[in-house]
Amino acid sequence: MVKTTETTFKGSDGTQVELYVATPDSGRAPAVIVTHEIWGLEDQIRGVAKRFAEKGFAAFAPNLYTRHKSVLTPKNIENAMYKFFSLTPEERQNRAKVEEVMKQLDETGRKVVEIVFNGRQQLERQMVDDLRALVSHVRAQPFVDPSHVGATGFCMGGGLTFQLVTEEKLQAAVIFYGSNPKPIENVRNIECPVMGLYAGEDMGINAGLPELVDAMVKSKKQFEMKIYKGCVHAFFNETRPTYNKEAAEDAWDRTVKFFSRYLGVA
């Protein structure tokens, strides 16, 4: 039987950050931190956390948008992204083009762009710092085995998870189509096995894979990778049109086996 709770933890600056927790009915368990996509903490991510608990892991899914939750809702983000991503990568570097799109957005849409896109570096730093605070919170829970804590993340959350393991000692990490750590040289700080799961048709993310593999090899890190041919970004999310059932099921099977191998199941 799985128990689920909506609670909070103390973020890096003292803010109470929203947190969904799913735990198995099995005493102390290894833990997995589950970090959401750009949409925020949706029911789909809660579902992933619950699936981990069903496999014997204590799962923790934070809402890293807690400080901006009135603005950064899935609907608001999707509306703003639709406009913003109508621009080519080159056009996004053109201030006039960006300002033209901004004029088409309402006040809420402009706030979304300001926080998520224009302020991306600052936002990501805050989110990684919150994840580091969450690691400490997770290890302090009486129902968690503090020596067996892993992390996974999807899309934006995959990149945040990758950054996290360059700054925090964990026991395992699974990256779903996330961006590389910045700077890439920081992979030398990783102290746990990492598995990367990528879509074959995901040019933005995959452009960084040769550099990633090279850095992992040079740093002699334990890294394995699977690329799903014919799939696009976010193939794991069953609520999106990008979903690929066959790839998602295989990726889930690999993920559970990976965490079972390195975290164990109490």
Any bridge partners for residue 131, and if so which? none
155 as an active site residue: the answer is yes
Q: How far is CA 234 from the centre of its chain?
A: 11
DSSP state of 116: I
Q: What are phi and psi of 100, to 5 degrees?
A: -65, -45
Q: Is 202 a catalytic residue?
A: yes
Q: Which amino acid is at 264?
A: G
For this structure, is 233 an active site residue? yes
**Beta carbons of 150 and 191 less than 8 angstroms apart:** no
Contact assessment for residue 180 and residue 212, using Cβ atoms and an 8 Å cutoff: yes
Asked if omega into 181 is within 30° of 0 (cis), the reply is no
Considering the candidates 36, 137, 148, 233, report the single residue annotated as catalytic.
233
Residue in 202, 214, 231, 250 annotated catalytic: 202
**Residue 132 burial (CB count, 10 A):** 16
Catalytic member of 36, 155, 192, 231: 155
As a whole number of angstroms, the distance between CA 203 and CA 103 comes to 29
Edge-to-edge, what's the strand order for the sheet holding 144-154? 2-10, 16-24, 58-62, 29-35, 144-154, 172-176, 194-201, 223-232
Catalytic residues: 155, 202, 233
